[in-house]
Structure 1
Amino acid sequence: MARAARHSSLETRTARARLPVRRTPYFAKIAKGLRLGYYRGAVSGSWVASLYRGAEGYDTKAIGAADDTTDADGATVFDYWQAQVQARNWAERRRLFAAGVVRTGPYKVADAVKDYLAEIAAEKKPAAVQGAKYVFDAWILPDLGSLEVDKLTTERLVRWRNKIATEPKRVRTKRTATEAARRKTPDDDDARRARKATANRILTILKAALNRAFFADRVSSDTAWRKVKPFKRVDEAVVRYLNIAEIRRLVSACPEDFRKLIEAALYTGCRYAELTRLKYEDYNDDSGTLSVRLSKGKNRHVVLTEEGKSAFREWTKVLQPGQRIFLRRDGRIWGTSHQQRPLDEASQRATISPPVNFHILRHTHASYLAMAGVPMAVIARQLGHADTRMTEKHYAHLAPSYVAQTIRENFPVLELGSSRQVIPLHKRSA
C-alpha cells in the first residue's frame, strides 16, 4: 500500500483555514503524475484529484467536501487522508480503463454476471456453472440485469430480495402439458421459511458475482450489497429420513437398474453424482471401502458395512477396469437429472408422501449413524463434510445426548399413574 503524502498546509482544517480564498485549488503531489487539490471557499472547501495524462493533459475528478466545518464520514465529507485514498483509487481505475482491463461505458449487473460466468468456467465443473447460470437467468437478470452496478442501492436490493422471499415457488411445466403449471403461494410457516432460505441462496450467488467485479476493479464500491443481509434463522436443520419399513417399500418399488442406485445411496450416504461416477476400480473389496473421486474437489474413502460390501461385490463381479458400476437399463450413463422422476414414481408406488428425493437417502444413512451414537467427526468423514459444523447442524439432535441420558437416569419415578384412574361416583339415594 502506498505511503500517504504529507502536506502541512492541507493536513488539518486549522491549517487550511489560514489559506487565502481563491478560485484555483491548492495542490499536493501524492504520487507520480497524481495531485490532490483543495478548493478554498469562503466558508468551507472541497477536494479534487488531478491526473497527468501526458500529451492529453490532465484528467480531474471531484472527490467531495472537505471536513472544514463537518466531521468526515468517508462518504461525502473527507479529511485529507481519506481524500488521498479516494484520489489514488480513482487514478488506479483510470489506469485500468486506459489499459483496457476495465471496460468503458456503464457497467451493468448483466455485465458482471457475464464476466463471472466466464471466469468460473475455468474453476468449476460444467454442472455448477450451468446451475449458476439458471439462477441468474431466472431470478437476477430479469429484475437487476439492466441496472448499473455503481448505481445499485441497498434499498433496491432489499426490495428485490423480499420479492423473491414472497413470490410463489417456481414449478416446471411438463413438456406434454397444455397449460403452464400453477405456482403455489407460500401459505404456512415452513413454506415461508423455505422461500426465505431460497432468497438467501440467490442473494449469495449475486454477491459472488458483484464481489468479483469489485475486486477486479470493475466497479468503485461494494457498499450497496455489503449492507444487504440474509434472512435470519431460516436454514434451521429439518432432517427427514426414512424408517426401515419405508426403506424396504421404496427399494421394492424401484426398477432393477434404479434400485441399485437407491441401495448404494442407503449403504454409503453418497450423493447421486458421486455414485453415478463410480467405476470398477473404485471399490476395494479387501478394505471394504469406496474411493469417491473428485467430490467437491477432493477424494474420500467411504466405509461399507458387510451388507454393503456384499452388494458391491455382486455388482462388480462381472465388470472390467474402467467400467461404471451403475448404468441405466439401456447401457447409458445416468445423467444429471435422471433420478427424480423414477424416485417420484417409486414413492407413489410405495405410498411415501411427500415423494423422496435423493438427498433424503443421504440424510437417512447419516441419521441412523447419529442415532447409533457414531461420533459427529466420523459421520462428517463418511459424508465428505469439510468439518463437523454441517454434520452437527443436521444430525446432532438425533445423537444420544449426555444431558438427556443424565436426566432420564436421575429423575425420580413419581408413580402418578394411579392419579389418572377414574373413580365412579355413587348415585345419591332419593
Structure 2
Amino acid sequence: MAHSINSKTAREKLEPRREPYWSRIQTGLFIGYRKAEQGQGTWIGRRRDEDGKQVYRALGTFSDYDAAVKAANEWANAIEAGVSSKGLTVKQACEHYVKHLAMHKGSASEKDAEGRFKRLVYAAKIGKIDLARLRTSDVKSWLGAQIEQDEADAEDEEDLRRAKDSANRNLASLKAALNLALRDRLVATDAGWKTVSKFGDVGRRRTAFLPADQRKALVAACPVDLRYLVKAMLLTGARPGELARANVEHVDEDQGTLELDGKTGHRVVTLSSAASAFFAALVKDKDAGTPVLSTEFGQRWNKDSWKKPFKTAAAAANLPAAVVMYALRHTAISEMIANGMDSFIVAKLAGTSTAMIDKHYGHLRHDKTRAKLDAVAML
C-alpha cells in the first residue's frame, strides 16, 4: 500500500516503523521517510547504481518534503559527476591525505600531518562527522577548542601568539586534507570548510580585564594557597610560572625587591610598599631555599595545580568565562600603564619588551596623554 509523504499532515498520520515510507522522485531515484516513535523523522535517499545494486544515503532531518528532495537530488547528481557514493568521514579524509603525502611529499610531511591528525582529529568529535555533512560551525568549534585550552595555560602574549599560530597550522593541514578529498571526488562540495579563516593577527587578542570589584571577588573566592598566588600576580604583573619558581632567598626585604627568572631571563623587580609588605609576610620564618608561594601541601605551584582551582574560584566569583590566569597579569600591566607609569619601566617590571607593551597597551597611554592634553587650554 502506497503512503503519501509529500505533506507534513500526511507524514503525521503514518505509523512509526523502521522501514522508510518511499516516494519516487525520478527513474531510479527514490526518497524515503522514516517515522520515529518520538521527535522528528529522518529522510533517506535510494538509487540504483551501475551494477544494479540499491545504494542508500541517510539525508538527515528536514522540515518539508521539497528540502529533502533537493538533498536527494544533490546526492544523486554528485554521484553522476563522479563523486564517491560511499560516505566518508573527516577522519577517513585525513587518512587519505596522509597516504597521499607519503606517496608524493615524503616521510617528513607524512609524519607531521599524521601527528596533528592523531592529536586533534582521529579521536575527536569532528573526525566522526560525515564529510558531506560537515558544517562551517563544526570546523570553527574544532579550531576554537584548541585556543581555549592554550588560553588557560598562557602566561603572556607570546604564549597566546604561539597558540594561535599553532592552531593556524593545524587548520591548514585539515583544509588540505579536505580539499584533496574534494579534488579526488570523494565529496561534492567544500561548503563546510571553505569559509573558515585562520587567525589573522596571531600577536594580539582581547584579554579579560578585571576591575577592582571583580579582583576583590576573585581573591575572596580563592582558597588560601591560591589567594596568595593571585595576589602576587596582581601586585607584580609577573607570570605565574616566574612567581612559582621564586624562593625565599629571592625576596630582599631591605631593598623591597624580588628576583625572578622566566622566559626573558633573570631580572630584579621593584616592589610597591604593599607588595613588599605582602612578600615579607610570606617569607617570614621560612628557609632560604623554600618556595615563596606553595600549595596547601607545601609543593611548588605549576599550571596543572593552579588551573582547576583558579577556574573554580573564577566561577564562584561570577567572573566572565574568558577570565584565565593570564588575565591577572594583563590587569596588573593595564593598571600600571593607565596610572601613568612609563612603558619602559613597566616592560622591565613585567619582563617583556617596550614594543610588546606599546602594541598591547598603547591605547591606555594615549588615553592618559589625551586627558592631560585636555586639561591644557590651547585656545
With the length of structure 1 as denominator, give the TM-score of the two structures.
0.45
Judged with a 3 Å threshold, the aligned counterparts in structure 2 of structure 1 residues 264 and 107 are, in CA distance, closer, same or farther, namely: same
Aligned to 1:288: 256
What are the residue-to-residue correspondences of 1:343-382 with 2, within 5 Å?
343-354=310-321, 356-382=323-349
- SS of equivalent to 1:356: coil
Distance 1:367 1:304 in 2: 17
Deviation of residue 202 (structure 1)? 3.4
**Aligned match for 2:371, one of 401, 405, 408:** 405
Residue 201 (str. 1) matches residue 166 (str. 2): yes
Q: Tell me the residue number matched to 1:56.
A: none
The structure with the larger Rg is 1
For residue 340 of structure 1, report the CA deviation from its aligned partner: 2.0
In the TM superposition, residue 393 of structure 1 has moved relative to its aligned partner by 1.6
How do 1:16-415 and structure 2 match up within 5 A?
Answer: 106-109=106-109, 111=111, 138-139=119-120, 166-169=140-143, 200-203=165-168, 231-233=199-201, 235-293=203-261, 295-296=262-263, 298-354=265-321, 356-385=323-352, 387-401=353-367, 404-405=370-371, 408-409=374-375
Q: Are the structure 2 counterparts of residues 276 and 203 from structure 1 closer, same or farther at C-alpha, using a change threshold of 3 Å? A: same
For the 8 Å contact 1:344–1:355, the answer to whether it is kept is no
- Which blocks of at least 5 consecutive residues in structure 1 are unaligned? 1-104, 115-132, 143-161, 173-182, 184-194, 208-228, 414-430
Could you give the per-residue CA deviations for residues 43-62 of structure 1, whole angstroms, max 9, x where no partner exists? Answer: xxxxxxxxxxxxxxxxxxxx
CA displacement at 1:112 relative to structure 2: 6.0
* Residue type of the alignment partner of 1:394: H
Other structure's SS at 2:107 match: coil
Q: CA RMSD in A?
A: 3.9
In the TM superposition, what is the alpha-carbon distance from 1:404 to its structure 2 partner?
2.4
After TM superposition, give the deviation of residue 287 of structure 1 in Å: 1.5
Structure having greater relative contact order (Cα 8 Å, sep ≥ 6): 2
2:161 and 2:204 in contact (8 A); partners too: no
Contact kept? 2:209, 2:331, Cα under 8 Å: yes
Aligned-pair CA distance for 1:335? 3.0
The offset of 1:197, in angstroms, is: 9.0
Decide whether aligned partners of structure 1 residues 206 and 107 sit closer, same or farther in structure 2, where only a CA change above 3 A counts: farther
Give 1:200's aligned amino acid: D
Residues 205/393 of structure 1: CA separation in 2 closer, same or farther (3 Å cut): farther
1:395 counterpart SS class: helix
For the structure 1 residues 323 and 402, does the alpha-carbon distance in structure 2 shift closer, same or farther, using more than 3 Å as the test? closer
Partner SS for 1:252: helix
Report what 2:82 is aligned to. none
Q: Does the Cα contact within 8 Å between 2:340 and 2:368 map onto a contact in 1?
A: no
Instruction: Return the structure number with greater helix share.
Output: 2
Classify 1:290/1:403 alpha carbon distance in 2 versus 1 (closer, same or farther; 3 Å): closer
After superposition, the C-alpha distances for 1:177-210 in whole angstroms (9 at most, x for unaligned) are xxxxxx9xxxxxxxxxxx9995533346999xxx
